[in-house]
Structure 1
Amino acid sequence: MRVLFVCLGNICRSPMAEGLFRQMSQRRGLDSRVEVDSCGVGDYHVGEPPDPRAMREAHHREADISELRGRVIRSDDFERFDYILCMDEDNLQALRRMAPESRRAHVGLLMDFAHEDTSAEIGDPYFGNTDNFGHVADQIEAGCQGLLDHIEYQDAPD
């Protein structure tokens, strides 16, 4: 199962989602069955590390994202990944405009997988304060938890 997390610039939300999802899948023993990556819709931060506030919040949750580097989505991602999940409606609309009709991937919002009653979007914390990163990480964890449940359910024997 291949999962790609997407936000605008790939330095805040999507690298946190990549790191937290990887760490959560390891804890559940699913890491050998799941490949994860992240990217941005825009090419603003290609090659750059995640925002220091995102790295700090991920580290606080025992996920190291310091080695990740920003990249932009590519056309072959729509064939390579099973799920391409973005953080907000603006990025979802951009992805849908870019996606070929014959795409393999499910393109949607990460929060569509969250079990609890939460916002459908994960807001961009970039221009906010450090507290915003904690709230965003809580939302990401809720979405990732639901996604992992979904993946386990799909892989369960009939």
Structure 2
Amino acid sequence: MKLLVVCLGNICRSPLAEGALRARIGASPLSDRVEVDSAGTGGWHAGEPPDRRAIACARRHGVDIGGQRARQLRADDFHEFDWLLCADAGNLRDARRLAPDGLEERAVLLLDWSGISPAGEVPDPYHGSEDHFEEVWRLVDAAAQAVVARLSRPAGTGIIGP
């Protein structure tokens, strides 16, 4: 299974979610069966590391995201990844616009797909404080735990495939 977390610029929410998912999946029996990456719908920050506040937030929770580099979402990602887990409705809309015909439904809301919050969105902390980054961490870490639980269910018990 391959998961791609998507936000706007790939420097705040999606790197935090990628880090949380990697940590939770890495500590689970899924570690050799699930891959995680992230991307942004915009390319403004391509090649850059995550926002320094996101790096510091993840570090406070024992997760190193400093080696990640931003990249822009590509249409090919819909072929490469099973699920594109979008931070908010705007990211979802933009991702689906880029999707090749018939693959739009691979893009979903992260909090909804994980079972944390139907139609839930991860707020963008970019213009906020450390507290906003901590709020995002709480959401994406809860989603990561729920993703591990979802993907750990035995076959035939509700795991939705692409």
Q: Is 1:100 the equivalent of 2:100?
A: yes
Cα displacement (A) at 1:103: 2.2
Cα displacement (A) at 1:113: 3.5
Distance in 2 (alpha carbons) for counterparts of 1:130 and 1:42: 23
For the aligned residue pairs, the C-alpha RMSD in angstroms reads 1.7
- 1:50 maps to what in 2? 50
- 2:64 maps to what in 1? 64
- 2:79 maps to what in 1? 79
Task: Name stretches of at least 5 consecutive residues in structure 2 with no aligned partner.
Answer: 157-162
- 1:129 maps to what in 2? 129
Cα displacement (A) at 1:29: 2.7
AA partner of residue 88 (structure 1): D
Cα displacement (A) at 1:62: 1.3
Give TM-score, length-normalised by structure 1.
Answer: 0.92
Over 3 Å counting, the alpha-carbon distance change for 1:113 and 1:48 in structure 2 is same
Distance in 2 (alpha carbons) for counterparts of 1:118 and 1:61: 26
Assess if the C-alpha contact under 8 Å between 1:82 and 1:104 holds in 2: no
- 1:145 maps to what in 2? 145
Count of aligned pairs between the two proteins: 156
Give TM-score, length-normalised by structure 2.
Answer: 0.90
Over 3 Å counting, the alpha-carbon distance change for 1:45 and 1:89 in structure 2 is same
Between 1:109-118 and 1:13-22, the stretch displaced more is: 109-118
Cα displacement (A) at 1:93: 0.6
Over 3 Å counting, the alpha-carbon distance change for 1:36 and 1:105 in structure 2 is farther
Cα displacement (A) at 1:118: 8.0
AA partner of residue 90 (structure 2): D
Q: Percent identity?
A: 42
Distance in 1 (alpha carbons) for counterparts of 2:80 and 2:129: 35
